[in-house]
A = this chain, B = another copy of it.
């Protein structure tokens, strides 16, 4: 089953990479882009009988390995599911 995990910095955490991208874009003439946040994106293939099982496995994996829960939050998407 195909799943996707989006990991982003929590809104209260400063994102220097995003800030740098905004400044680079400004100097390239894209002043209309006024905020950028960079995150990580994972595509995971999971063997699971149901959407709920896949979601549970991938949430655990995101918590333990893919995201740092102190400064990051994550969202899980499973193919064939409309989300919570």
Interface size (A, Cβ < 8 Å)? 33
Contact flags A32-59 to B (C-beta < 8 A → 1, else 0): 1111111111111111100000000110
How many monomers of this protein are in the complex? 2
Q: Is A14 an interface residue (CB 8 A)?
A: no
Instruction: Please tell me if the beta carbons of B37 and A42 are within 8 angstroms of each other in the complex.
Output: yes
Contacts of A65 in B (CB 8 A): 21, 24-25, 28
Contacts of A43 in B (CB 8 A): 8, 35-37, 39
Instruction: Please tell me if the beta carbons of A44 and B39 are within 8 angstroms of each other in the complex.
Output: no
Q: Looking at A25, A41, A46, A57, which has the most chain B CB atoms within 10 Å of its CB?
A: A41
Instruction: Please tell me if the beta carbons of B36 and A44 are within 8 angstroms of each other in the complex.
Output: yes
